[in-house]
Structure 1
Amino acid sequence: MGLQAPATPRVDTALGIGGRRKLYPWIVFALAFGLLLSDYMSRQVLSAVFPILKADWDLSDSHLASLSSVVALMVGLLTFPLSLLADRWGRVKSLILMAVLWSVATLLCAIAQTYEQMLGARFLVGVGEAAYGSVGIAVVLSVFAPRVHAALAGAFMAGGSFGSVIGVAIGGFIAVQFSWRWSFAAMAIFGLILVALFRALVTEKKLTAYAVEAAPDAAGEAVRNDGFRAPVSSLFTNPAVLFAYISGGLQMFTAAVLLAWLPSFFNRYYDLAPDKAGVTASVFVLLVGSGMVVCGFITDRFSRDDSARKWTTAIVYCAISLVTLSIGLRLDTGTAQLVLLGIGAFFSAGSSGPTAAMVANLTHHSIRASAMGTLTVANNLLGLALGPFVVGILADHLGLLGALQLSPFVYVVAALALVAGKRAYPAGMRRLATLQNRPEIPGATEVAEVRSS
């Protein structure tokens, strides 16, 4: 009888507090992921209404490109400083403010009367969205055990493509059925509803209560919490890390072009109405997001015994996209072209996961969030902002198809950066090991342990 007394409290704990501890992190993930969808829906709905805006306001392709690229430009410029500010001011308050700003700015897009007003509203959308990705994933990871961080981070990053799919598909449908202004308004309303839910259910106090301490994980990766913080300069003094930043940004160039210009491509060359063009393009955008998840999984499997193989898989993904998109964009419209474009789209951002993993491998854990913020800056400045804008300018002179045909060749530069990064990788790992094995830290890890992380 005496042994049975403690049994009831254990059962109650499992069904009560334990159950809540398992459920609440997933509520945080669902709401943060939902806001990420809203983020990209508000950003990419513009692509669905490109043909209508071009006709209504008599805009050039470079004008349309600037409306798209200004968002990514602001994200690239402001991600790092706003992420640092959010860590000091409070992540939950920062996320709420960001989401309110981009939702209200999207509503301003709906009532814009001129190109200049639309550009100003899109500028504010970019300011609101700037640090959401880095701060949002930090909030999510804080309430989950380290052993599932990689999978969660991959799913969170792919959410951008899924949000783009929804934004383009629904935006194009609403634009045809009602008007392009309602396309923006719908995205804004969706965002504000999610903000209200997030504000009601997620607080700094609850995140602190449910926080998972950075203890050794199931794989045995010990994270020392000795108060040491690596210098921020180490984010930029390791050549291998720099090559990872550069390749990461450049491999997003053509993926960003596909996200922004495929609706217009199908409208102009397949004679599809804006709503049907948006739906067709959304299939390819979905392939981009799916490719990020699948290619990341393949990379993890292939590089299990040698982390340097991540560079190899990233090079292969770039090569596949280069070949399939280059050939596909030069074929006549039809099934063969669509198949090759689909393959190219699937692998177009496939190296984003390997690149992020390489940056994580090469940076000290104390500044890893800052490293991811730096990678986000590179992705936006070299890819998401630069790609659509450059193609828009080229389209004014060469036509949209001619500009699209040139865009895959950026993968050549990205692959060269990956090759250089792979060659610098061993030295980069030794540099990291030196930082981790500094004399004042007892029991420092070996290089082999770093490579297996």
Structure 2
Amino acid sequence: MAVAASSAVPGAQSARPGARAWFVLALLCFVYVLNFLDRQLLSILAKPIQDELGVTDGQLGLISGLYFAMFYCILAIPVGWLADRTNRVRVLSLACALWSAATAACGFAQNYPQLAAARMMVGVGEAGGVPPSYAIISDYFRPGTRGTALGLFNLGPPIGSALGVAFGASVAAAYSWRDAFIWVGVIGVVTALIVWFFVREPKKGGLDEPTQAADEPVQPVAAEPAPGFTATCRMYFSNPVLRGMALASGATQFVTYALLNFATLFLMREKGMTLQEIALWYALLLGVSVSLGIFGSGWLIDRLSRRYKTAYAYLPAVGLIVAAPFFAGFVWASDWRVALLFLSVPMALNYFYLSPAVTLVQEEVRPNQRVLAGALLLLVMNLIGLGLGPTFLGAASDFFRASHPDNSLQMAFYCLLPFYGLAIVMFLGLARKIRLQSQKEVVS
């Protein structure tokens, strides 16, 4: 039986989310777990892949960063435009099947070009994963609960990364890195079929606040045709708050994706951890710390934004200010146990931007623009963060290898500290833009 949208019931605007909404959220979160698990397997299994295929740090940075991001980010725009006009659940299901099949293909790669081609196809599929999910969840949860719902959904990356570390490292240690890719791909194809048959497309805008004229009874939000592609893009990039949030989040992701894509290799090669220790200790740290950061920021933003809209910017800024010195401690520590203790703080606070960013965009645009607006947010964030962060770090490591052969990645990680400062300044600037926009709205 398909799951019906909770918006189908009159008066759902005032009701708490029902069991069906939570079921859909849980299933979409699992899809996101697979999305990120597929994406992170390459970095988790970097050392055995390097040992067998002879891939350099710079080449790893390219296929996990720029090459992947070119397809993932750019194709998310037409996919978002299509999903706003068609069935978002069907788009998500097909995308999940495609990226999962491409992940399995990574396990059969015999050389770097074949691995690169398979990773690009993973990016093609994942372009249709997150933006439709943002919009579907926003139509299953009313305003005032979306920050928490999207915060729970955004637990997909830490859970996916933690499971990827635990599963990928354990399988690679016991069998082969190839088996890890193949099994994860098979699980993803099965999940795509479950989404297709058990999730129903919710009504667009069905749970948004109703409109009311001064002398008229409350009227529910009427369904409207989706605005044109160009009109939505123009609206998004002409809005200083939406534009500023995307750029500040991109600067943050420059650090987070560089860290995620090279932390495992750094801990094994320069801190002395084994695959078995990675599968246990690093997996636990990643899952717990990032989950606390993402869910905690979603819970906080639902409460703080009711009184202070600038919380969308100040919350990420404060998180980064506290995280930066602990990140430096992680890079500096000579023992992997001490390094992990330091890393637990930035692994949580680095992600204080994600739930505020997604919630702000979903609240600021019209219901029939949510998928494309979410895709535009991801385009900017991921082109900067996912596309350039790992690419920069891998290239920096190759650069330092001649002068620092034993700790080239450590030197490269130190180069990320200025980007903490850049992201903090950008979020503080965003707070000012939000304040000015709110003042204009009050005056008008």
Q: TM over 0.5: same fold?
A: yes
Select between 131-140 and 359-368 the one with higher mean Cα deviation: 359-368
Q: Structure 2 vs 1, CA of residues 369 and 226 (structure 1 numbering), >3 Å: closer, same or farther?
A: same
2:14 paired residue number: none
Q: Does 2:208 align with 1:214? A: yes
8 Å contact kept, 1:67–1:122:
yes
Query: 1 CA distance for matches of 2:187 and 2:143?
Result: 31
* 1:247 partner SS: helix
* 1:271 partner SS: coil
Provide Cα deviations, 1:216-265, integer angstroms capped at 9, x if missing partner.
49xxx998548597842221123233221110111112111222111111
Q: 2:389 aligns with which of 387, 390, 404?
A: 387
1:408 paired residue number: 417
Q: Structure 2 vs 1, CA of residues 247 and 72 (structure 1 numbering), >3 Å: closer, same or farther?
A: same
2:263 paired residue number: 262
1:330 paired residue number: 332
8 Å contact kept, 1:241–1:421:
no
Query: 2 CA distance for matches of 1:228 and 1:111?
Result: 44
8 Å contact kept, 1:38–1:163:
yes
Query: 2 CA distance for matches of 1:149 and 1:302?
Result: 14
AA aligned opposite 2:379:
V
Contiguous gaps of at least 5 residues in structure 1? 1-12, 14-20, 434-445, 449-453
User: How much has 1:32 moved relative to structure 2?
Assistant: 1.8
8 Å contact kept, 2:240–2:433:
yes
8 Å contact kept, 1:95–1:136:
yes
Q: 2:100 aligns with which of 92, 103, 120?
A: 103
2:403 paired residue number: none
Query: 1 CA distance for matches of 2:90 and 2:301?
Result: 36
1:24 paired residue number: 20
8 Å contact kept, 1:215–1:222:
no
Q: Structure 2 vs 1, CA of residues 296 and 148 (structure 1 numbering), >3 Å: closer, same or farther?
A: closer
2:31 paired residue number: 35
Q: Structure 2 vs 1, CA of residues 263 and 89 (structure 1 numbering), >3 Å: closer, same or farther?
A: same
1:9 paired residue number: none
TM-score normalized with structure 1 length: 0.82
Provide Cα deviations, 1:10-49, integer angstroms capped at 9, x if missing partner.
xxx9xxxxxxx94433332232222111111111111221
| Bigger Rg over Cα | 1
Q: Does 2:52 align with 1:50? A: no
AA aligned opposite 2:72:
V
1:128 paired residue number: 125
Q: Structure 2 vs 1, CA of residues 425 and 179 (structure 1 numbering), >3 Å: closer, same or farther?
A: same
Q: Structure 2 vs 1, CA of residues 369 and 411 (structure 1 numbering), >3 Å: closer, same or farther?
A: same
8 Å contact kept, 2:258–2:389:
yes
User: How much has 1:64 moved relative to structure 2?
Assistant: 1.3
**Equivalences for residues 136-285 of structure 1 within 5 A:** 136-204=133-201, 207=202, 212-216=206-210, 225=222, 227=224, 231-232=231-232, 233-285=234-286
Provide Cα deviations, 1:243-288, integer angstroms capped at 9, x if missing partner.
2111011111211122211111111123222343244332332212
Provide Cα deviations, 1:331-359, integer angstroms capped at 9, x if missing partner.
32254433222112111111222333444
User: Whose RCO is larger (CA < 8 A, sep 6+)?
Assistant: 2
AA aligned opposite 1:214:
D
Q: Structure 2 vs 1, CA of residues 134 and 222 (structure 1 numbering), >3 Å: closer, same or farther?
A: farther
8 Å contact kept, 1:95–1:135:
yes
User: How much has 1:313 moved relative to structure 2?
Assistant: 2.1
Contiguous gaps of at least 5 residues in structure 2? 1-8, 10-16, 212-217, 401-407
Q: Does 2:429 align with 1:420? A: yes
Q: Structure 2 vs 1, CA of residues 272 and 326 (structure 1 numbering), >3 Å: closer, same or farther?
A: closer
- The percent identity for this pair of structures is 24
Count of matched residue positions in the alignment of Structure 1 and Structure 2: 410
**Equivalences for residues 422-437 of structure 1 within 5 A:** 422-429=431-438, 433=441
CA-atom RMSD in angstroms? 2.8
1:372 paired residue number: 374
Q: Does 2:58 align with 1:62? A: yes
